Amino acid sequence: MKLEEKLTYYIMRRIKKAHPFRISRILLLLDLEHMAKKGKKLTDFSYRLFPYGFFIEDFPAFLESLPGIEKKVITDEAGRPVKGYFELVDEKEVELEPEIREILDPILERCVDLDDDQLNSLVVEREDYKKLLGASGEA
């Protein structure tokens, strides 16, 4: 199993269900912290950065490809989709290196009670995010 898959399962085991927006913020925080400590990103995700947010290239498709993680869609009375999220429906046991857990676990603890705006601000207001944004707009 690729590292990005392991990380996603590990995150989903903690949060159970989430929109790709939340999962991506946690992953970028992990990459930023890893860069600060080790000098390089941990994952192979391709981030497209903007002043007020970012996205991971093809991230919803990546999530849909993972066994045990299902896309859920909430519809209105007329059957139109109004909201969606991904849910962990089959627990996958994954082992992460202790040095990865040392970075990721505090991020998860800090993010669990934040709303989407607070979580996004936690990322985009970091100096290292601003530097990456100014340099290329990609990470």
pLDDT in tens, 56-85: 989 999 999 999 999 999 999 998 988 889
Give me the mean pLDDT over the 42-67 stretch: 94
Domain span at 59: 3-135
Residue 52: burial class (beta carbons within 10 Å; 0-12, 13-18, 19+): exposed
Contact (Cβ atoms closer than 8 angstroms) between residue 19 and residue 90:
no
Res. 123: pLDDT tops 90: yes
Token digits of residue 85? 């999220």
pLDDT for the residue numbered 60:
93
Res. 89: pLDDT tops 80: yes
Count of domains forming the chain: 1
Of 43 and 135, more confident: 43
Res. 26: pLDDT tops 90: yes
